């Protein structure tokens, strides 16, 4: 159980940590430091995912708030989605006006990524294990089962695994989300083509590098020398943390385990979930129009499922795979109306 005194700055509260962590103030906002005095709490925290929690309340309490969980892609972390999550919550709040109770936005770091990379998760490092990690986190947290899950890339398959198995009762008393958003994720098996081949090449390159790395600049220069783009090199540089007091850096993800997760991501097939979606759960698939991952037969199959009303299929213009970075306003235009509609529907049930 998470305990602590909560304070707010305007109408937004940011927390950071994992189950059993402690509170601290940083830059005028409240964060979880992860510093624990109790060894038992520390051992318990080692078994759960790290996460950020952003609250956008309109009331003085958490009563009636909707919970949205965000799941990042391969080699990413929850913080990659934090800016977009704030944008989404603000837009939803504006459009919902006075009857909007507020949102709890949970941005997890999946196993072997971000602040969960040193949590010591046991093999196999695959999609089902990553989904079970999410269930374990929710069961030890205070925010409860999410109303909505928004997932990107590999996180999309983790979300499909978690949501479909929760609906089937696989996790016991786990509750399925009411809405599932899958952003630029191929639902079925993925052939090694286009940028997936590049991802494998990048991971292979990373595994051969020294650890710790001499510096962030050293990594960027090295990747450029190997023929990778500057944007990719600098993005990889953003996934480093200091290894000590000097310039040496180390990864915020585990390269070897991330490769195992990539292989599982490519092999996992969730077409059966889309073809027979769980009752009372909306599944929204968003395809970025500039993303090179989508083959014609996959697009055709999604369009047919959408026409039968089994899923909601959206096309995001002016965006490649990094949808929340390339066109965040357009992506919010697609998602927000469904958030507002869900909020009103749930309020009418009460």
Q: CA triplet 11, 5, 93: central angle to 5 degrees?
A: 20
Name the band, by pLDDT with cuts 50, 70 and 90, for residue 198.
low
The pLDDT of residue 93 is: 85
Q: Identify which of 18-27, 173-182, 192-201, 314-323 has the greatest average pLDDT.
A: 173-182
Domain 13-188+268-349 has CATH 3.40.50.1820: yes
Q: Which two tokens stand for residue 324?
A: 């929340």
The pLDDT of residue 22 is: 32
Please state which of the ranges 18-22, 207-211, 218-222 shows the lowest mean pLDDT.
Answer: 18-22
- Quick check: 346 pLDDT over 60? yes
The pLDDT of residue 15 is: 52
Q: How far apart are the first and last CA of the chain?
A: 27
The Cα 114–Cα 9 span in angstroms is 26
The Cα 315–Cα 170 span in angstroms is 32
The pLDDT of residue 23 is: 31
pLDDT tens digits, residue range 11-56? 444 555 544 333 332 332 333 334 333 443 444 444 589 999 988 7
Domain boundaries, the chain: 13-188+268-349, 194-261
> Read out DSSP for 155-177?
HHHHHHHHHHHHHTTTTSS----
Q: What is the mean pLDDT of residues 252-281?
A: 93
The pLDDT of residue 187 is: 96
Q: What is the mean pLDDT of residues 287-291?
A: 93
Please state which of the ranges 18-32, 51-65, 181-195, 216-230 shows the lowest mean pLDDT.
Answer: 18-32
pLDDT tens digits, residue range 114-124? 999 988 899 99
Q: What is the mean pLDDT of residues 181-210?
A: 80
Return the residue matching tokens 């180390």. Answer: 250
Name the band, by pLDDT with cuts 50, 70 and 90, for residue 238.
confident
- Quick check: 284 pLDDT over 80? yes
The Cα 159–Cα 132 span in angstroms is 10
Residue 18 neighbours by CB under 8 Å, 6+ apart: 32, 34, 45, 48, 49, 50, 51, 115, 137
Compute and round to an integer the Cα radius of gyration of the chain. 20
pLDDT tens digits, residue range 52-101? 998 876 554 577 789 999 999 998 899 889 999 999 998 998 887 676 67
Q: Which two tokens stand for residue 5?
A: 């005194």
The pLDDT of residue 350 is: 62
């Amino acid at each position: 159980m998470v305990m602590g005194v909560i304070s707010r700055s305007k109408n937004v509260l940011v927390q950071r940590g994992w189950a059993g962590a402690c509170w601290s103030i940083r830059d005028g906002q409240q964060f979880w430091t992860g510093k624990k005095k109790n060894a038992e709490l520390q051992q318990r925290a080692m078994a759960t995912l790290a996460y950020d929690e952003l609250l956008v309340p309109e009331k003085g309490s958490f009563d009636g708030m909707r919970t949205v969980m965000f799941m990042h892609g391969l080699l990413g972390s929850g913080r990659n989605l934090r800016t977009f999550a704030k944008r989404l919550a603000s837009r939803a709040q504006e459009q919902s006006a006075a009857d909007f109770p507020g949102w709890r936005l949970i941005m997890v770091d999946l196993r072997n990524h971000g602040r969960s990379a040193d949590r010591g998760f046991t093999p196999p490092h695959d999609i089902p294990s990553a989904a079970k990690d999410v269930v374990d986190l929710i069961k030890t947290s205070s925010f409860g089962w999410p109303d909505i899950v928004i997932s990107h890339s590999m996180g999309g398959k983790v979300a499909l695994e978690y949501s479909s198995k929760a609906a089937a009762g696989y996790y016991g008393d786990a509750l399925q989300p009411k809405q599932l958003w899958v952003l630029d994720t191929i639902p079925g098996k993925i052939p090694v083509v286009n940028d997936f081949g590049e991802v494998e090449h990048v991971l292979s390159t990373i595994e051969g590098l020294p650890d710790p790395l001499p510096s962030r600049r050293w990594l960027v220069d090295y990747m450029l020398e190997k023929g990778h783009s500057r944007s990719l090199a600098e993005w990889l540089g953003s996934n480093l943390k200091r290894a000590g007091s000097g310039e040496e850096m180390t990864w915020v993800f585990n390269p070897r385990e991330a490769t195992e997760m990539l292989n599982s991501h490519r092999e996992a097939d969730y077409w059966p979930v889309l073809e027979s979606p769980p009752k009372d759960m909306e599944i929204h698939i968003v395809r970025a129009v500039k993303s090179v991952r989508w083959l014609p037969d996959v697009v055709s199959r999604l369009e047919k499922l959408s026409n039968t009303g089994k899923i909601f299929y959206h096309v995001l213009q002016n965006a490649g795979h990094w949808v929340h970075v390339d066109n965040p306003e357009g992506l919010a235009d697609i998602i927000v109306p469904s958030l507002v509609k869900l909020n009103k529907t749930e309020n009418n049930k009460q």
